[in-house]
Structure 1
Amino acid sequence: MSEFATVLRDQVDERLKTLVVARRAGLDHEIHLHGARIRDLLDLAARHGVDTGDWVDPAVLDLASPDESIS
């Protein structure tokens, strides 16, 4: 994995951790912000040809969407 991909992967992992914390605390606004940041990072990776298929479970991002209810 290139250094670029490694840095992106680390940033996604960090955002996933903060997303979990926000979900546990019931902070809907932060959940959506972290979800959006993860999507941005995944989009950036895709634009540079980095395969992110196994980085994030799509269901996690679905739950971080403003249109979905968080339980």
Structure 2
Amino acid sequence: MLACCVAYRLSRGHLVYALGARPPTRHVVRNAGVEIVCHALDLAADPSALLAHVRVLADEVTRESSGSEVD
């Protein structure tokens, strides 16, 4: 994720894991100007709840995508 963010000059990248219901964690990479946000999806959840979570995550990522380029 870090390599992609640096190559595309992005200040933030998102990783999505199948780890269960956990809040997102944020990691700032020193000297790179990059924040990596880790999201967990609960694959054991009801399918409609899982899809709702994916929609919320997609909305968050697309809302943040404007203006995320590193100067």
Task: Give the shorter-chain TM-score range.
Answer: 0.3 to 0.5
Normalising to structure 1: TM-score of the pair? 0.39
Greater C-alpha Rg: 2
Normalising to structure 2: TM-score of the pair? 0.39
Larger strand proportion, structure 1 or 2? 2
